[in-house]
Amino acid sequence: MFCPHTQGIRSSKTFQRNGPHVHKLDKSSALDRRKMWRGQCATNESKKLDKDNFIKIIPNFLSPAERIEYIQESYRIDKIPSRCGNNIQNEFTRNGKPYSFNPNQHTANYFKKHVIDISKKILDKISINGENLHNLMDSATEFEYGVEMANGGNIIRQNDVDGDWKHVAFYGLGQTRYLRITKENARGFINIPILDNSLVICSGEQFQKNYFHQVDNLPVDHPMGTSILLKTRFRKPRLSGTKVI
């Protein structure tokens, strides 16, 4: 039987089975990577930086179904433009309150389902290396940057030194962008491609004190898509009486 409504859906170019946000990130993930800077190369394998600090790189972190669910849950919450206008983001904390250490006015949310679910999987990877003490997700930031921002947006050079975070993990979706790791008073960079559905874990007691991270803009003439980057931070649980804080 002829059904014009069903036929209309089948012929619609905008209809996507998994939703427009999944489709947008799927298309973005197919874009070419930017060319590396002259004299530099990409780091695609896990590596030890020194005696106490290392980087673990895990491709294809979530299953296809888990990836789709993560994207759909992520877009249930509106992200807020950063102060510099170079990305939009959401902050997540254990109590839903803004960071006490951040003097700039900002808002925060309680941990949402997609952040909690992926943090458990990240902890599984951390524990493989024999680490089971720094197992509390203290806070998280979810960034989005891409076509609506100048040169694809960026994340400015920073390090997370305001808490006792031994593990800081980055989960990426969409267009491949480079996570650049630098060391204070040292020359050179480590450029890690954040592929769609990949995880990078930066671990070490002094990692955040000694190393910085950033995501640079794209060249003006480079194809631009959308990228999401979730940063999660893990520390030791602390007790206040009988309550874990």
Where does residue 144 rank: exposed (0-12), middle (13-18), buried (19+ CB within 10 A)?
buried
| Selection from 228, 205, 234 nearest residue 215 by Cα | 228
pLDDT for 178: 96
pTM for this predicted structure: 0.89
Phi, psi at residue 7, to the nearest 5°?
-65, -40
- Confidence check: pLDDT of 48 > 60: yes
Please tell me the distance from the alpha carbon of residue 163 to that of residue 6, in angstroms, as a whole number.
54
**67-94 mean pLDDT:** 94
Who wins on pLDDT, 165 or 85? 165
Do residues 143 and 194 touch, judged by C-beta distance below 8 A? no
pLDDT in tens, 7-22: 444 434 444 578 999 9
pLDDT in tens, 148-171: 899 999 999 999 988 889 999 999
With a pLDDT cut of 90, the percent of the chain lying above it is: 69
Q: Which of 27-31, 195-199, 203-207, 235-239 is predicted with the least confidence, judged by mean pLDDT?
A: 235-239
Handedness of CA 40, 59, 61, 175 (dihedral sign): positive
**124-129 mean pLDDT:** 84
Q: Which of 28-32, 48-52, 191-195 is predicted with the least confidence, judged by mean pLDDT?
A: 48-52
- Confidence check: pLDDT of 42 > 70: yes
pLDDT in tens, 199-211: 999 999 889 999 9
pLDDT for 242: 56
Phi, psi at residue 217, to the nearest 5°?
-65, 160
pLDDT for 186: 84
- Confidence check: pLDDT of 72 > 60: yes
Please tell me the distance from the alpha carbon of residue 149 to that of residue 89, in angstroms, as a whole number.
13
CATH class of 18-239: mainly beta
